[in-house]
Amino acid sequence: MSANLHALSENPLEAAGKSVRPVCLSDYVRGLAGAGRRVFPGANSSYWAQYEPGTMVRVPMHCLQPPSARELWRLHWIRLSPLVSFITEPANTAQADSTLYLCRDHAYCLQKLDHAARTNIRRGLRELKIEFLTHEQVLCSGARAFIDNHRKFNPATATAEEFRRQYSGPTGVPGNVFIGAWKDHVLAAFIHVVFVDDWVNISGRCAMDEFLNLRPNETLLYATLAYFLAANRVQVVHAGVNSIDERADAPGLHRFKLKMGFEAVPVHRAFVLHPAIRLLSRMPAQGVVSLIRRLSPASRRMRLAECVLNHAAGSARRQQKAPG
């Protein structure tokens, strides 16, 4: 076997000789609190953390037990959380209103992927240098990839200022890991994951438009899954749930994740408003939010509110149509 073919058969992150270590969940959420996030303990060894203003999200993502009424009451009335978000196993087909993407294949390898994915990844491995990044490298070299990526879905956030806002925070939070794809001295793409206990969550992927023909997204995701799963470093890798933003390329992202080896698990994605403001979920309020959104297109909070209300209304319609 030639040296070049041998290099392509190996995971580039293993070949680099650098390794990363997980942190325990309590240290991770302690780091979030130190970075200014609101964090509260939950049931079943879970935590509630603020990822958007006014919204508490449950971690880890694979915790699918429904929270108790008392737990939600405490989040709303003691913790004063306007919106609580979590995912659960659907009780029936009508309640399955979202998809959770998981990869649990500990025999994950290039040969298991389809021909197109293998071809793309081999090209990426030939053309790009894949390695772990420091947080400083991401801040210095990652803005162009971030801006190009966000320009496709939400141009209002495709700015250097938004990049610094989102990626300055992880500097003091343990468990954050960055993996990059270099083309010569340019950071063509990077992936951000959270490595906690025996699970990994893929938090974000960004790539520069001019290097997409080198297939950095497929190459980075392959290297990440092979590094964490094939060596049994974790039990599961999460690629998140499908977006509630209708402008996101949901069919394209779904096909991409399946092509890369993820399972599509039907789940119920709940957004529970504080009882004092639950009237906002009624249809007239949706019209008001949509109007404000059109008047303030750059407002991330209003866009989030519009997406949540639309998702909640769609879930309610599906359950009303369900037999029985």
Task: Tell me if 153 is assigned to some domain.
Answer: yes
Among 190, 174, 205, residue whose Cα is nearest residue 137: 190
- pLDDT at residue 5, rounded to an integer: 38
- pLDDT at residue 273, rounded to an integer: 83
Q: What are phi and psi of 90, to 5 degrees?
A: -70, 140
- pLDDT at residue 187, rounded to an integer: 98
What pLDDT digit, counting tens, does each position of 230-280 carry? 888 999 999 988 866 555 556 788 999 999 999 999 999 888 888 887 665
Task: Tell me if 133 is assigned to some domain.
Answer: yes
Task: Tell me if 144 is assigned to some domain.
Answer: yes
- The rounded distance, in Å, linking the Cα atoms of 201 and 238 is 5
- pLDDT at residue 152, rounded to an integer: 84
How many domains does the chain divide into?
A: 1
- pLDDT at residue 160, rounded to an integer: 94
Ranges of residues in the chain with a pLDDT under 70 are 1-10, 16-17, 93-94, 169-172, 243-250, 278-324
Give the residue numbers spanning the domain of 123: 105-234
Domain harbouring 206, CATH code: 3.40.630.30
* Count of helix runs (H) and strand runs (E) in the chain: 12, 11
- pLDDT at residue 319, rounded to an integer: 47
Among 103, 104, 83, 79, residue whose Cα is nearest residue 269: 83
Query: What's the token pair of residue 316?
Result: 């309610």
Task: Tell me if 215 is assigned to some domain.
Answer: yes
Compute CA distances 160 → 139, 233, 271, whole Å: 10, 34, 30
- pLDDT at residue 321, rounded to an integer: 47
Task: Tell me if 111 is assigned to some domain.
Answer: yes
Task: Tell me if 72 is assigned to some domain.
Answer: no
- The rounded distance, in Å, linking the Cα atoms of 67 and 206 is 33
Query: What's the token pair of residue 170?
Result: 């992880």
Task: Tell me if 219 is assigned to some domain.
Answer: yes
pTM value > 0.85:
no
Task: Tell me if 275 is assigned to some domain.
Answer: no
Query: What's the token pair of residue 38?
Result: 């609101």
